[in-house]
Amino acid sequence: MSLFGQEMTREDYDDYLAKFNANDSSFIEYYHTDVTLELSGSEIRGAKGIKDFYADVKKYIKETVEVTTYIYDGKQLAVEIPTTFEVIADWDNSFWGMDLKKGQVMRVISWGIYDIEDGKFKRIRTARYRMINDWQFEN
């Protein structure tokens, strides 16, 4: 494993994603301290800023990210990531600008581009590619 080396292997990324999906806060080890995350029209700066953001979001949302496409050229990593967001606790005035109720689910496919420096994420840009279903209660 090349964690903290110059490269970001597929095994590294899979480990990062497993930690992220499990709500294991050690996923932050994959971020530079001065990383920038561009997410849905907002920008979060610093590893601590991202950790704090997700600590709040994950009180209400179980986020499960998969990878269907993985491309890495040694400096940038691009992924296609189908993602399921499941509301696990009512969330008034959520990150999405609306009240969410426990049991609602949203599924999207997004793209992520990661700039890699010293084997860590230095800049992350995300964009939603396809809405599978907006927030809804499942049967």
pLDDT at 3: 52
Is residue 2 included in any domain, yes or no?
Answer: no
Q: How many domains does the chain have?
A: 1
pLDDT at 68: 95
pLDDT at 1: 41
Question: 100-113: string of b/e by CB count within 10 Å (b at 16+)?
Answer: beeebbbbbebebe
Residue 110, classed as helix, strand or coil, is: strand
Q: What is the pTM of this model?
A: 0.90
Is residue 126 included in any domain, yes or no?
Answer: yes
Domain that holds residue 112: 10-137
Q: Which CATH number do you get for residue 56?
A: 3.10.450.50
pLDDT at 138: 84
Is residue 5 included in any domain, yes or no?
Answer: no
Which ranges of the chain have pLDDT less than 70? 1-5, 139
Mind listing the pLDDT tens digit for each residue in 76-100?
A: 999 999 999 999 999 999 999 999 9
